[in-house]
Structure 1
Amino acid sequence: MHGRVFIAVSLDGFIARKDGSLDWLPGSDGASDQPAEDFGYQQFMDGIDVLVMGRHTFETVLSFGTWPYGDKRVIVLSSQLISLPDDLPVSVEVRNSSPTQLFRDLASEDLHNAYIDGGITIQRFLAAGLIDELIITRIPTLIGEGLPLFGALAQDIPLQHRETRTFENGFVQSRYAVQSAVSSD
């Protein structure tokens, strides 16, 4: 299994405000005047077998109104029992698994690429050595405080820069390979 991250952060490193709000993120309001550029997201999603997200991220996605992942398999990690809305595809499930156990289970199903989403979930998978690639898009906005993408680490995690792209709207997207990732293939 390969764990991959595709995420936006404010220039000061936050993925959301302290209350989880994304109002600072262009397009989060659903405005139709946003550029058609998807910053490589669809190409990234085309290479993903399963999306793994935490409960808080799942609740944020539900607030968007329309389920954005179609029939893509989505696993919501939660230590609490949660019920799924009836209008979600049957490809959405809830599990209470460690990152390592989840990857073992997914690999046994012959899945290869998992999109890991949500701050705490990304941090847990990084700590377990299960993230292979980080694609981070920096949004040219300072929000001062919020939920950080990265938290405290037990040890350094070396990254290898693969590429950086800039966009006309000021977004800067960098792709990194995680050198300490444990291959579970």
Structure 2
Amino acid sequence: MTFTSTVFIGTSLDGYIARPDDDIEWLTSRGERAGDMGYSEFLGSVDAVIMGRNTYDRLIGFGEENWHYGDRHVGVLSTTLPGDADPRITVYRDMDSLVADLDKRGIKHVYPDGGRLIQSFIRAGRVDAFTISVAPVLIGAGHRLFGDLTEDVPLRLVSATDIGGFAQLRYTVQK
């Protein structure tokens, strides 16, 4: 593995990234008050963004003005999205082909985005660091950031910072 992967995401205090109906207003409304929380700087550090199909569909629904990836390589891991769905993206059918192509492209730092995709990266041992901004709210149900794991993933806390009422936690994965 020649590239590193960093997850940058917001959750509720009880560990959800979206409500059961995929709503994230509870996060975005609080996030507006907190500012960008380092996202722009983080995005500037990555040379590839990989997302799952649901995240891609949601992003496209927000409109062209929300495509902030510039000339970075953008991939979508999906078994159903047509390969020619969008000229800005590369569609990957499985993790092995994704990893092989990123290595071939010389990608050094990857941003995996989307709940199920992040879980796939974790299970494959492909996450090196987490930046998790925890919103000051309990939402009680929805899509969890972390799914079932077959083994522990040991982490080392790098920092914990208050950013506009959010607790921003930075961890590295101990491999």
* TM-score of the alignment, normalized to the shorter chain, above 0.5: yes
Residue 81 (str. 1) matches residue 81 (str. 2) = yes
CA distance in 2 between partners of 1:28 and 1:67 (Å)? 19
Corresponding residue of 2:99: 103
Structure 1, gaps ≥5 residues long = 181-185
Corresponding residue of 1:183: none
CA distance in 1 between partners of 2:81 and 2:102 (Å)? 21
Structure 2 counterparts to residues 9-88 of structure 1, below 5 A? 9-27=11-29, 34-35=32-33, 37-65=35-63, 66-71=65-70, 72-82=72-82, 84=85
2:159 to 143, 156, 163: 163
Corresponding residue of 1:115: 111
Of Structure 1 and Structure 2, the greater helix share is in: 2
Contact 1:22 1:28 (8 Å CA) reproduced: no
Contact 1:20 1:60 (8 Å CA) reproduced: no
2:167 to 162, 165, 172: 172
TM-score normalised to structure 1 length = 0.85
Corresponding residue of 1:7: 9
Percent of matched pairs sharing the same residue: 38
- Alignment length (residue pairs): 170
Corresponding residue of 1:92: 89
C-alpha distance 117-60 of structure 1, shift in aligned 2 (>3 A): same
Q: Larger deviation: 76-85 or 134-143?
A: 76-85
CA distance in 2 between partners of 1:97 and 1:13 (Å)? 27
Structure 2, gaps ≥5 residues long = none
TM-score normalised to structure 2 length = 0.89
- For each residue in 1:98-135, what CA deviation from the matched residue of structure 2 results, as whole angstroms up to 9, or x when unmatched? 1x432232112111000001111001111111100010
- For each residue in 1:124-180, what CA deviation from the matched residue of structure 2 results, as whole angstroms up to 9, or x when unmatched? 11111110001000001111100000011000010011011102x311101100113
CA distance in 1 between partners of 2:41 and 2:100 (Å)? 25
CA distance in 2 between partners of 1:79 and 1:163 (Å)? 37
* Helix, strand or coil at the partner of 2:102: helix
* Helix, strand or coil at the partner of 2:25: coil
Give the alignment's Cα RMSD to 1 decimal: 1.9
